[in-house]
Amino acid sequence: MSTGEGNAFLDLLNAVLPASVPSWIVVPSAAVLAIAVCVALISVNTMFSVWLERKVAGHIQCRYGPMYTGWHGWLQSLADAVKLLVKEDIVPRGADRILFVLAPALALAGILGAMAAYPFAPHVFFADIDLGLFLILALSSVTTIGIVMAGWASNSKWSLLGAMREAAQVIAYEVPLGLALLVPVMIGGTLNLIEASRLQSDWFGMGWFVFKNPFALPALALFFTAALAETKRAPFDLPEAESELVAGFHTEYSGIRWSFFFMEEYTGMFLMSAIAAVFFLGGFESPLTWGLRQSLGEDPGFLNHVVRADGSTQTLIAIGGFVFQLVCALTLIVKTMLGVFLMMWLRWTLPRLRVDQVMTMGYKYLTPLALLCVLGGGLWEWARAGWGS
Amino acid sequence: MSNEASIHGAGEHAAQREFELEVRAQDMEVNFGPQHPATHGVMRVLVRSDGEVVTGAQAHLGYLHRCAEKIGENVEWLMYLPYTDRYDYLSAMNNNLGYSMAVESLMGIRIPRRAELLRVICVELNRVGSHLIAFGTYGMDVGAMTPFFHCFREREWMMALFEKICGARLTYSYIRIGGLFNDAPPGWLEEVARFCDVFEERWVEYEQLLLSSHIFIQRTAGVGVLSREMALAFGVTGPMLRASGVDWDLRRDMPYSIYAEIFAAGAFKVPLGSGAKGKLGDCWDRTWVRVMEMRESIGIVRWCLAHMVEGPVVGDLPKVLRVPAGESYVAIENPRGELGHYVVSDGGRGSIRTRVRGPSFSNLAVIEELLPGALVGDAIAIIGSIDIVVGETDR
């Protein structure tokens, strides 16, 4: 679907730059701007998530977590980032140098590309992609190649075992992950994240897919479990199982390359939670956004195109629309971070499964259950569509 | 393996294992350690694995060898006491007690009643602390980080109690030949009682958080099954032996100090593994036995507090410690099993032979039997469930 306004970054540049700037400059500039924002975003998200993880872990474990760098240690991640940046860059002897250097970049590139489909607000996004969900799932799988590559190139047995576990785990859990997502896709009839979110704006902003179909809630549980395995979070953190494999696939990495894997992990968590929020929990819709819609109109954008008397157009920022977009963005971020918090909570509570138990769970339980959900959800949607017509 | 398997038999078995372990094409040799998060110290387990399946294992010891026994032959009787703190550093009170009792049995000193009661309190609190570490780190071994910190919360208090009574947090040297270093400071016994109350409340958390967690049961039940026969053949002692269903606790069956009286008063039971979640003698049983023993220890401490008497804490000791010529072996129930001290005196100022029978060392031997056939994740769970202190295996 088209949102009528196109890319927010392009719109912004068009509004800011004089009309004389040709489009072959504006369009690539918008792309560069979008990439810069995306990279900055995942860095900030990683730093915040690491800080949050440490605080969550601390409070679960009867301690405080970081306390000395800034208010409740909020600068801790920044200090860590600086430390990682200035650390010596080590490539172990015997490692496959090219693959070793390439692997973290590939892992991060996959997740960075997947971030392109993340919708901030109805009119603020990197790209309005009709196959958004498909793109996220496809590109986030690329990170697995990076991780397997890292494990292989490290020339370490721990890394190799970790990489093999990652490969086996991802293959086992991609299937239930995709199947569970078919249920909300069938409810909404779209793979577009922005449109899926907008479809949940009825029922006073509570028309979330998870309430619209009795099979959506089990599908959400299945999706969340599979997402934990996809993002290598406990109890499925086998690829980097600390007590077993030292640090798994990233045993030999240090410094900024190691932090790439960290960024990949936390962005992966963020994206998986975002998918859960968008496709099950109403996206950026809530009673608050519903109320704003009532006062501002159905689809308030944050830019107003004013046609002047001389025929030229001027683009102005609309305050109401801006507030609406902001509320939408915050709603989605809060929902996403709640999912991330849940992942952290589980990590610091549960023991780790064994490798055969992970496989058993994926193949024998999650996949058949996900298939059942697809069948039940599909029949329900079919019946509902039949009823309506 | 039969009941009669001797040390010789175990050696034969190891040799046979060596042959079986010839590396096959697809096998991979992995060193768990000397620096590995799961070896609980500086130990190395050479594991041969076929992918995720362990096909053979060999423990390599000696990284922490500090000539503890030889030192015993070069220093005076009392001077050796601080060295006993350092082999099993998680249960230093027990080591102090074992060594002191070995020397006392040669000297024939009578220990004052108050000293005996305080000794038992300290030893049992130390057992609780040691099992807390075993339980907490075991949680970490199977991937649960949080129980470890909950255990350390209680252990911290226990160490603070010891700091108050003897000034040290880990290497106490509190139990001396002939009695104790000093009497408990005012209010200490009351605080111990408070610790017991709080501990019994929090003890429930361990069971809820880890022991009855479904994933934990999946990870440990039926894993690393140590049969009764194998346990006896390998000379396994302590919670590991009891988890395999052998009803043997030195505190009850070869009572020392005042344990006979405490047991007769019904202050403690000996928890036995039953294979409740999997098979008898699996990792879950071993963990369960330790957790139950913590509560029994608290029961013993409570009994001692209730029967506390006033009086001196040091027996009649000569100015210079003279130990009559002779030899003695005293075994006590350390948190890990039978800790034996064998000392020989020629009537001089120090021993001419000191020998320590450490439980970790004997218990560790079973890994070469238990690991083959397990998965890599199981291997960690098995090594962790043995609860070794490398300082003591190597001495």
Which burial class, exposed, middle or buried, applies to B319 when counting CB atoms under 10 A from its CB (0-12, 13-18, 19+)?
exposed
Of the candidates B101, B170, B70, B99, the one whose C-alpha atom is nearest the C-alpha of residue B130 is B170
Q: Which of A350, A360, A365 to mutate to test the interface with B (most CBs of B within 10 A)?
A: A350
**For the segment B217-256, what is each residue's pLDDT rounded down to a tens digit?**
888 888 888 888 888 888 898 898 898 888 888 888 888 8
What pLDDT is attached to residue A2? 34
Token pair belonging to B131: 């099992």
Taking CA atoms, what residue in A is nearest to B149?
Answer: A61
Please report which confidence band the pLDDT of residue B314 belongs to, taking 50, 70 and 90 as the band edges: confident
What pLDDT is attached to residue B2? 37
**For the segment A245-281, what is each residue's pLDDT rounded down to a tens digit?**
777 788 888 888 888 888 888 999 999 999 999 999 8
**B3 falls within a domain:** no
Taking CA atoms, what residue in B is nearest to A57?
Answer: B146
Helical ranges in chain B per DSSP H:
7-20, 68-72, 81-87, 92-107, 113-141, 146-166, 188-206, 214-220, 228-233, 239-243, 250-253, 259-264, 283-306, 359-364, 367-370, 376-386, 390-394
Token pair belonging to B173: 């040297």
CA distance to partner chain B, nearest, from residue A328 (Å):
36
What is the SS3 assignment for B201-269?
A: HHHHHHHHHHHCCHHHHHHHCCCCCCCHHHHHHCCCCCHHHHHCCCCCCHHHHCCCCCHHHHHHCCCCC
Q: Other CB atoms closer than 10 Å to residue B62's CB: what's the count?
A: 12
Of the candidates A266, A282, A230, A232, the one whose C-alpha atom is nearest the C-alpha of residue A119 is A282
Q: Which of A243, A344, A345, A352 to mutate to test the interface with B (most CBs of B within 10 A)?
A: A243
What pLDDT is attached to residue B349? 81
Burial B13-52 (b: 16+ CB within 10 A, else e): beeeeeeebeeeeebeebebbeebbbbbbbbbbebbbeeb
Q: Other CB atoms closer than 10 Å to residue A126's CB: what's the count?
A: 21
**For the segment B110-168, what is each residue's pLDDT rounded down to a tens digit?**
888 889 899 999 999 999 999 999 888 888 888 888 888 888 888 999 899 999 998 88
B28 touches A: beta carbon within 8 Å? yes
What pLDDT is attached to residue B15? 41
Matching residue, tokens 């960290």: A262
Asked whether the beta carbons of residue B144 and residue A349 sit closer than 8 angstroms, the reply is yes
The whole-angstrom separation of Cα B324 and Cα A347 is 60
Backbone φ and ψ of A93, nearest 5°: -65, 140
Positive or negative torsion for Cα A217, A223, A228, A231: negative
The whole-angstrom separation of Cα B246 and Cα B232 is 8
Taking CA atoms, what residue in A is nearest to B38?
Answer: A243
A59 touches B: beta carbon within 8 Å? no
Res. A368: pLDDT tops 90: yes
A244 touches B: beta carbon within 8 Å? yes
**For the segment A295-310, what is each residue's pLDDT rounded down to a tens digit?**
777 777 766 666 667 7
Positive or negative torsion for Cα B373, B379, B385, B386: positive
Domain of residue B187 covers 65-394
Res. B370: pLDDT tops 60: yes
The residue with greater pLDDT, B294 or B2, is: B294
Neighboring chain B residues of A169 at a CB cutoff of 8 Å: none
Residues A146 and A264 sit within 8 Å (Cβ to Cβ) = yes
**B40 falls within a domain:** no
Taking CA atoms, what residue in B is nearest to A251?
Answer: B36
**B371 falls within a domain:** yes
The whole-angstrom separation of Cα A200 and Cα A92 is 51
Q: What mean pLDDT comes out for the span B22-30?
A: 63
CA distance to partner chain B, nearest, from residue A62 (Å):
7
**B165 falls within a domain:** yes
Res. B269: pLDDT tops 50: yes
Res. B20: pLDDT tops 70: no
Of the candidates A170, A221, A192, the one whose C-alpha atom is nearest the C-alpha of residue A366 is A221
What pLDDT is attached to residue B271? 87
Token pair belonging to A7: 């890319």
**Could you check whether the bond before residue B255 is cis, i.e. omega within 30 degrees of 0?**
no
Please report which confidence band the pLDDT of residue B8 belongs to, taking 50, 70 and 90 as the band edges: very low
Taking CA atoms, what residue in B is nearest to A236?
Answer: B143
Q: In whole angstroms, what separates CA B374 from the centre of its chain?
A: 25
Neighboring chain B residues of A164 at a CB cutoff of 8 Å: 51
**B26 falls within a domain:** no
The whole-angstrom separation of Cα A307 and Cα B363 is 86
Res. A85: pLDDT tops 90: no
A61 touches B: beta carbon within 8 Å? yes
Q: How far is CA A108 from CA A63, A84, A115, B43, in A?
A: 32, 16, 11, 36
What pLDDT is attached to residue A305? 66
Q: Other CB atoms closer than 10 Å to residue A334's CB: what's the count?
A: 12
Average pLDDT, chain B: 83
Q: Which of A119-128, A265-274, B317-326 has the highest mean pLDDT?
A: A265-274
Backbone φ and ψ of A244, nearest 5°: -100, -55
Q: What is the SS3 assignment for B367?
A: helix
Q: Other CB atoms closer than 10 Å to residue B12's CB: what's the count?
A: 12
B30 touches A: beta carbon within 8 Å? yes
What pLDDT is attached to residue B393? 83
Please report which confidence band the pLDDT of residue A189 belongs to, taking 50, 70 and 90 as the band edges: confident
Q: What is the pTM of this model?
A: 0.82
B321 touches A: beta carbon within 8 Å? no
Asked whether the beta carbons of residue A356 and residue B141 sit closer than 8 angstroms, the reply is no
Res. B276: pLDDT tops 90: no
The whole-angstrom separation of Cα A304 and Cα B391 is 74
Token pair belonging to A12: 């912004």
Provide the phi-psi class of B231: left if phi over 0, else alpha when psi is between -120 and 50, else beta.
alpha
Res. B363: pLDDT tops 60: yes
Res. A113: pLDDT tops 90: no
Res. B3: pLDDT tops 60: no
Q: What mean pLDDT comes out for the span A52-69?
A: 88
The whole-angstrom separation of Cα A230 and Cα A223 is 10
A246 touches B: beta carbon within 8 Å? yes
Q: Which of A62, A236, A352, A353 to mutate to test the interface with B (most CBs of B within 10 A)?
A: A352
**B300 falls within a domain:** yes
Neighboring chain A residues of B219 at a CB cutoff of 8 Å: 351-354, 357
Token pair belonging to A285: 């819709």
Q: What is the SS3 assignment for A6?
A: coil
Asked whether the beta carbons of residue B140 and residue A243 sit closer than 8 angstroms, the reply is yes
- List the single residue in A157, A242, A350 with the smallest CB-CB distance to B37: A242
Q: Which of B29, B215, B220, B277 to mutate to test the interface with A (most CBs of A within 10 A)?
A: B215
- List the single residue in A164, A165, A234 with the smallest CB-CB distance to B143: A234
DSSP state of B286: H
Q: In whole angstroms, what separates CA A19 from the centre of its chain?
A: 36
**Residue B315: CATH number of its domain:** 1.10.645.10
What pLDDT is attached to residue A176? 92
Q: What is the SS3 assignment for B352?
A: strand
What pLDDT is attached to residue A314? 65
Please state, for a pLDDT cut of 70, what percent of chain B lies above it: 93
Residues B335 and B130 sit within 8 Å (Cβ to Cβ) = yes
**For the segment B322-348, what is each residue's pLDDT rounded down to a tens digit?**
888 888 999 998 898 899 899 898 887
Q: What mean pLDDT comes out for the span B376-388?
A: 85
Name the domain count of chain B: 1
A300 touches B: beta carbon within 8 Å? no
The whole-angstrom separation of Cα A189 and Cα A183 is 10
Q: Which of B28, B35, B146 to mutate to test the interface with A (most CBs of A within 10 A)?
A: B146
A75 touches B: beta carbon within 8 Å? no
Res. B179: pLDDT tops 50: yes
E strand or H helix that includes residue A27: helix A23-60
Res. B18: pLDDT tops 80: no
What pLDDT is attached to residue B5? 35
The B residues from 289 to 318 touching A (CB cutoff 8 Å) are none
The B residues from 86 to 145 touching A (CB cutoff 8 Å) are 139-145
The A residues from 351 to 380 touching B (CB cutoff 8 Å) are 351-357
Q: What mean pLDDT comes out for the span A202-223?
A: 86
Neighboring chain A residues of B377 at a CB cutoff of 8 Å: 238, 241, 244, 352, 354-355
Q: What is the largest CA-CA distance in chain B?
A: 70
The whole-angstrom separation of Cα B9 and Cα B18 is 14
Provide the residue ranges of all domains of chain A, joining segments of one domain with +.
91-384
Please report which confidence band the pLDDT of residue A313 belongs to, taking 50, 70 and 90 as the band edges: low
Asked whether the beta carbons of residue B143 and residue A157 sit closer than 8 angstroms, the reply is no
Average pLDDT, chain A: 84
Torsion of CA A183, A184, A185, A191, to 10 degrees: -140
Res. B17: pLDDT tops 50: no
Residues A252 and A159 sit within 8 Å (Cβ to Cβ) = yes
Please report which confidence band the pLDDT of residue A205 belongs to, taking 50, 70 and 90 as the band edges: confident
Res. A329: pLDDT tops 90: no
Token pair belonging to A113: 């590309």
